[in-house]
Structure 1
Amino acid sequence: MSEIHFEALRADLDQLSVPRGEVRHLRWLVPPLAIGRTASGDFEVFIRGAEIHAVSPLVKRHLQHGEWRPEAGGAQFSANRIVLPSAQHFASVAALIAIELVRSGIATSGGIQKAFSDVEPIIEMAIRRGALSENIVIGLIGELSVLRQLLLLGKSRSNSMLRYLNFWQGWQEGTRDFRIGDHSIEVKTTRSESAIHQFSGLHQLEPMQQPSGAMEHLYIMSFGLAASSVMGETLPSIVNSIVTLLSTAAEGSDLANEFLRRVSLYGCQSGGGYAHQTMLGWAAYGTRYTHTYIPRLYRIEDPAMRLLRRDMLDDTFVQAKGLSFTVHFPDQVSAFNPVPKWESELDRVIKFSDVI
């Protein structure tokens, strides 16, 4: 195997067909190492043996140790697995990883962990282009938490659920996360135990004039999310819950498929997006997240909100364009800010906006 060149292995993987059903096609390169392909088209790199350990947090999220089968009815084998997306160029990435593992001595006695550690930087670079970062994952979970609540409100009404789905704008770049008439919501997530959030510009905190001529009513929805091994929700589980809600609507599966399309576009400007139907079983998306504090919905127009304003910069050398900053929102700004119950406030906003 050490004499096989990249192009030869790459051509071999091109011939590795996509199987049907709950099977996978495998190519064993050396006894501890195989490359597989699943029914979803994903490429898998298997390192047989005991659990290995990654240094990179990103690689650690994608590394999964378990029992696997080469095909339906085949004998199980214990191995570490890394999944790469189905896009054809990832055949080249899988080939590169495999060749470097062999060159690093993965087939030698006791060489599995050492070879993996040597090649881990290459694996990290490959994964970075194939999956969402954890920051984007928790951002998406935050937005989907709001969307699910809106859809639950819509389920009790006779209107089209598409209208409620369309409230979510965060899957598109450069817009508010949610627009409900003249009301808008920017969703922020943090892994902190306090509402400490990063802002990419003053525009995220500045109400804007609407096409109707009215001034925008802007809210900040604050979530604190931390990884948990025993409780909370994963990204696939919250996506599944929304698919179930949408599937019960009159529009049925078409609406659910449109939702999944929009989810797949979220954050894809930084790499690959989350394709639910093929990635729901990926180890990288199997992390549970639980709340570090009760979610809060802040009203920006409250006079008690002590925020940076554009006019404050007029007498300084600081330019608003390109400015980024951190805001630490207190637990309580004023008597009714954050709102006592964010779910009830969403219901009030929908009714007030006359969008139903």
Structure 2
Amino acid sequence: MMTDRANLHHLSHETVAALWAAAAPVELPLPGEPPCTLQIDPTAGTLHLRTAYQLPEPDVGRLRNVDFHAVVDGNDDVAEMVVRVKDGGLQTSYGFLAAIISQLQQGARPMAEAVATAVAQFRDLTMARSPLPIEREIGLLGELLFLEYCIAEFGPQAAVNAWHGPLAEEHDFAIGGVHVEVKSTVSDRRVHVIHGLDQLEPLAGVPLVLLSVQLTRSSPESGRTLPAVIAAVRELAGAQRGSLDVKLAILDWDDLEADLHDTPWAVRSAPLAYAIDEDFPAITSDRLQRAVPHLGQISDVSYRVDLTDRDPTALPLTFQNFTEWSQQ
């Protein structure tokens, strides 16, 4: 259907929603220079802005939900911006294209500049999507599995408050009179990466335990995805959901990227604990201070430790059920 007249800047949100709800494609010619048309296509779930083609082309290659095409319409070269409308995002998508048209017609900006300005205004719609690196995904998954267990054992407030990993503290958890550093791996061997000289440095008078969790790719029937674990922990957190979400955000978790984390994971073997004592192979500031001059001038220390052939220690009594719970 082609309307006789339309002015984008006079379209209310209600009008756009009504046209979308009609479930039929509609094209709206927009007065002004350069001439533009707005196409609403509910069947495809997209909005289209078409106008005269010009160089340089807008750079949208790394943007999510937004595409650019150069097309030929008769004898004319046409630039087409396409926005994919996600759940509940119709008005934001419409506003993004309205901002581009305003820059084109009222600001007399070239296409590339108009798009760049709109991108800055609507960054949440257009920013590039990318999943967490696999190392960070499995690291977060291991911590959340332990947090899920701690909520059941200690309650939501104590458990969420005890999760220090996102806060750049030395250790992941401080709960039950013990500090716990959770390390996850997908390797056949219990090889873990230690970041920095303080990660395995016990605080005076506080026991420190490294909890080794081996994960493996699984099936939907026997494993859980990272988003599924996050959903479960959020439900258990109850009134602590806000504090939990703040910590997830610090770790760069974004629900808009949830579909990119679709791998089901399962615990490969029983988690094992290792007491961080004088016999543990840890590189710490205290140990290096005795051997390395000017240690403060060294930064970004990371190393791998293979615990496969090392005898584990018993988990503290408050956590001993975690091994059995994690493999249910």
Interval containing the TM-score (normalised by the shorter chain): 0.5 to 0.7
Q: CA–CA distance in 1 between the matches of 2:261 and 2:196?
A: 29
Contact 1:18 1:38 in 2 (8 A): no
What letter matches 1:324 in structure 2?
Answer: S
Bigger CA radius of gyration: 2
Of residues 299, 317, 330, the one that matches 2:275 is: 299
Q: TM-score, normalised by structure 1?
A: 0.53
Note the C-alpha offset of 1:205: 1.3
**Match of residue 167, structure 1, among 162, 165, 172:** 162
1:151 maps to amino acid = I
Query: Identity rate of aligned residues, in percent?
Result: 21
Helix, strand or coil for the counterpart of 1:325? strand
Of 193, 200, 204 in structure 2, the residue corresponding to residue 205 of structure 1 is 200
Report if the CA contact (8 A) 2:208-2:275 is conserved.
yes
**TM-score normalised over the length of structure 2:** 0.57
- How many residue pairs get aligned? The number is 230
Note if contact 1:296-1:342 (Cα within 8 Å) is conserved in structure 2.
no
Q: Deviations over 1:96-149 (max 9, x none)?
A: xxxxxxxxxxxxxxxxxxxxxxxxxxxxxx334xx4222211111111111111
- Give the number of the structure with larger relative contact order, counting CA–CA contacts within 8 Å between residues 6 or more apart: 1
Long gaps (5+) in structure 2: 1-12, 22-41, 49-67, 72-80, 94-118, 324-328
Q: Deviations over 1:270-289 (max 9, x none)?
A: xxx2234x444x2x121111
Equivalent-residue separation in structure 2 for 1:246 and 1:89 (angstroms):
30
2: CA distance, partners of 1:144 / 1:135: 14
Q: Which residue of 1 aligns with 2:29?
A: none
Q: Distance in 2 between matches of 1:179 and 1:87?
A: 41
Residue 88 of structure 1 pairs with residue 145 of structure 2 = no
How far apart in 1 are the matches of 2:87 and 2:17?
6
Amino acid at match of 1:295: P
Alignment match, 1:144: 144
Q: 1:264 to 1:308 in 2, by over 3 A?
A: closer
Which of 235, 244, 253 is the aligned partner of 1:259? 244
Shift of 1:195: 1.1
Q: 2:215 is paired with a residue of what secondary structure?
A: strand
CA RMSD, 1 decimal: 4.1
Distance 1:190 1:300 in 2: 19
**What letter is aligned with 2:212?**
S
Matched, 1:217 2:207: yes
Per-residue CA deviation, residues 171-207 of structure 1 (Å, 9 max, x unaligned), is: 2124421012542111111221111011122211111
Q: Secondary structure at the match of 1:233?
A: coil
Rate the CA distance shift 1:36–1:218 in 2: closer, same or farther, 3 A: same
- Residue among 212, 218, 231 paired with 1:228: 218
Runs of 5+ consecutive residues of structure 1 not aligned to the other structure: 1-14, 45-84, 94-125, 156-160, 210-214, 248-253, 267-272, 348-356
Q: Indicate conservation of the 8 Å contact 2:288/2:295, yes or no.
A: no
Q: Distance in 2 between matches of 1:147 and 1:260?
A: 13
Cα deviation for residue 262 of structure 1 reads 2.2
Counterpart for residue 129 of structure 2: 127
